[in-house]
Amino acid sequence: MYSKLQYISQGSTWEEQEKNIRSALENGADWIQVRWKNASEEDRLELSKKAVALCKSYHAVCIINDSVEIAYRVNADGVHLGLEDESISIARSTLGTNKIIGGTANTTENIQQRIAEGCDYIGLGPFAFTSTKEKLSPILGVNGYREIIEKIKLKHSKIPPIYAIGGITLSDIENLKQTGIYGVALSGVITQQPQLISTFQKKLL
């Protein structure tokens, strides 16, 4: 069973990234997605190696954002791919069937595409405005999630876990749970207040 809370790493330097990942793990995070968009390939590789080792020591899942090659080289638990990244089929053939492959979605059509591709989980968003992502897709809000998930349930009997993502706060959890999401992916709020992880986890039960 997948964790209901994913922490998406944040930080503009290697040191900040490592500190934030370590802090999230120390405060109970059991699923880390390593995301460092503006770093060199070499720095991302080294950070990912460190993150995999840290996650193993805390018995946490470690997913690499965007790069199938890095996920393969560091033997991460899986990869998360955006709609413009490499295909799910390439990721599956490279990483194998036992790795977790997640995909981003913004619309009902995106989710149908991800289901057809065989994603293990889907990050659906953004819920609200977030400064952690450039080129933000249209904001969904609670009603957007409800409409999309209701449509998907009519078309598919088996749906991968859907995570809400983008500008989510503690006060949003109850309303989001009622839309049918499986869990949430958080970045800024956990970077700033890692001690809130256990509170989020309890609310997501």
pLDDT digits (tens, 9 = 90+) for 78-131: 999 999 999 999 999 999 999 999 999 999 999 999 999 999 999 999 999 876
With a cut of 90, say whether residue 134 has pLDDT above it.
Answer: no
Q: H or E stretch including 165?
A: strand 162-165
pLDDT confidence of 136, banded at 50, 70, 90?
Answer: low
What pLDDT does 129 receive?
82
Work out the burial of residue 43: count CB atoms within 10 Å of its CB; fewer than 13 is exposed, 13-18 middle, 19 or more buried. Answer: middle
Tokens 């770093």 belong to 39
- Which pLDDT tens digit goes with each residue over 141-176? 999 999 999 999 999 999 999 999 999 999 999 999
Give the tens place of pLDDT for each residue, 8-33. 999 999 999 999 999 999 999 999 99
pTM of whole model > 0.85?
yes
Q: What is the pLDDT of residue 138?
A: 86
Cα dihedral 28/30/35/41 (nearest 10) = 110
> Please, what sign has the CA dihedral across residues 27, 44, 85, 139?
positive
Indicate if the pLDDT at residue 135 is higher than 70: no
Locate 189 and state its tokens.
Answer: 């709020």
Average pLDDT over residues 34-58: 97
* Rounded-to-integer distance, Cα 55 and Cα 163, Å: 20
Structural domains present in the chain: 5-204 (3.20.20.70)
Token pair for residue 144? 């957007």
pLDDT at 62: 98
With beta carbons less than 8 A apart as the criterion, state whether 201 and 33 touch. no
Q: Residue 18's closest CA among 10, 26, 6? A: 10
Distance CA 187, CA 165 (A): 9
Q: In which band, very low, low, confident or very high, does the pLDDT at 1 lie, cut at 50, 70 and 90? A: confident
